[in-house]
Amino acid sequence: VSNIEDEIEWMRRTANGDAVAFRALADAHLVKIMNFAYRVLHDRTEAEDVAQETFLRLWKDAGRYEPKARVTTWLHRIAHNLCVDRLRGRREQPSDELDEERSSTEPGGLLDRKRLATDVGKALAELPERQRTAITLVHYQGLSNIEAASILDVGVDALESLLSRGRRSLRDKLAQHEPDEVTGETGR
């Protein structure tokens, strides 16, 4: 799937029951949706469940897709709604995985890249959900400000506020990392 017109065609075919078209869309978007759900939920099992449910919705509801949005935006919106549902259900039952990671993370010391990745994941998970989702959509998923704002149902100004507050919190949470521990690369 190479461009928007191709994706719309794959969606049309999927809506008409074409399994080959569905699998092409899954090939193109599964990794992205899985990573989005993982960063929002910080739980691999739940992220896989959300990814599977997102593609089940794609199969069943492709006919509802409006070509005015990119397919990736449509899928991210579905996945985001599913993540929010899970986070609401989780409030009374905190994730064991998060607690385990928190207790195994010691401040200070020489931190390798794996440790940095763990700490960044933990710091992201500790952000309020909407700040975390905003950063994930813009920084990791590569969505535009308008696409990210539409998924979060906010205006661009509100999105920018979520992003800047989230980045400030991350800076504070990760203050123990020395500048030379992190790479100078900013693009992904």
Partner 1 sequence: VRQDDKKQTADRLRALVESYGTNPERWPPDERASAQKLETSSSNAEAWLTEQRRIDALLDGATDVVPSPALMRRVAEIPLRHEKALSGWRPGWLRNLIGLGTAAAVLGLVVGMTTSEPVATDDAVTEWDDLSTLALGVDGSEELLP
Closer Cβ to partner 1, 91 or 186, answer by number: 186
Nearest residue (CB) to partner 1, 91 versus 158: 158
Residue from 4, 6, 64, 88 in contact with partner 1 (CB under 8 A) = 64
State how far the Cα of 58 lies from the Cα of 64, in Å rounded to an integer: 9
Least separation in angstroms between residue 44's CB and partner 1 is 6
Q: Does 102 bind partner 1 (CB under 8 A)?
A: no
CA–chain centroid gap for 100, Å, is 22
- Between the alpha carbon of residue 42 and those of residues 105, 126, 139, 162, the distances in Å are 15, 10, 16, 19
> What CA–CA distances, in Å, run from 121 to 21, 59, 98, 112?
34, 31, 10, 14
Site for partner 1 in 143-162 (CB under 8 A): 144-146, 156, 159-161
Would you count residue 4 as binding partner 1 (CB under 8 A)? Answer: no
Please work out the total of residues on this chain that contact partner 1, with binding judged by CB under 8 A. Answer: 65
Q: Which of 87, 98, 116, 154 binds partner 1 (CB under 8 A)?
A: 116
DSSP character for 69?
S
